[in-house]
A = this chain, B = another copy of it.
């Protein structure tokens, strides 16, 4: 029977052109390669090389054998890779969320519900979350109400509302906006805002609703908080974070009136997933 180590040496020889180079590449002695090539000819039962006294090269048949060797080696590598990933998937709950806040609730609950399993979560925009759900890249998706009806079939997927989040702007008392009791995106459009990163669909929505505004993106949380404290630039908060935190103490929170600022997050998962559908249903108390 063929031998993957020998296949590898054959492929290396094809790549390097001489036995010595191949030996060096694979950190074995050169006679080892000689022997392997002889053995391979035995295995295949046909000549694979053109030999002269001090030269050896693949013949036409040999090249054909090399192609097979490469294919088989790749299959073997892929097999290990795939089996490892599969094993990992058996011990991992993957969640793709359109916003960060739902994960703060969800991940601890999932950890309790699936003791011993790894949680793997990511925050993406709605389209990317939908892709993950459809491709199976995530077991559980978190999506806002307004994308469900248009993009998710109730037949295939179970959608359970489990959390609300309402967006507000947050300004210092002396700011021009501070006098509003509530406000709309239309009225906010044109102001510039501080904005965090990894906000999922919020990022996209803000840019759509306030196209005239500029968003001053802060990638570092500490920097963000310092700038909020020390500047009068408006920023966003939601009721998913505590308003009374230190940094917001001196600011005024103004709810946004648009429907799009009042999000109901849904947990979405494959109805037919035998392993998880029931547990998810129980988890969300339905």
Contacts and interface: CB of A to CB of B under 8 A. Distances in A.
A83 interface: yes
Measured as residues with beta carbon below 8 angstroms from the partner, the interface class of chain A is 20 to 34
A130 to B, nearest CB: 27
Contact of A61 (B45, B71, B90): B90
Contact of A64 (B3, B72, B86): B86
A192 B72 CA distance: 59
A78 B67 CA distance: 12
Q: How many copies does the complex hold?
A: 2
Interface string A55-75: 000001100110011011001
Given A1-B8, A61-B87, A84-B44, A79 B69 contact: yes
A5 B44 CA distance: 16
A47 interface: yes
Main secondary structure of the interface of A (DSSP, over half): helix
Given A72-B72, A75-B68, A87 B4 contact: no
Interface in A62-113: 64-65, 68-69, 71-72, 75-76, 78-80, 82-84, 86-88, 90
A46 interface: yes
Interface string A207-226: 00000000000000000000
Contacts of A60: 86, 90
Given A5-B1, A76-B2, A83 B71 contact: no
A81 to B, nearest CB: 10
A43 interface: yes
A87 B47 contact: yes
Contacts of A44: 80, 83-84, 87
9 contacts: A4-B4, A44-B83, A46-B88, A47-B87, A61-B90, A64-B82, A64-B83, A65-B79, A69-B79
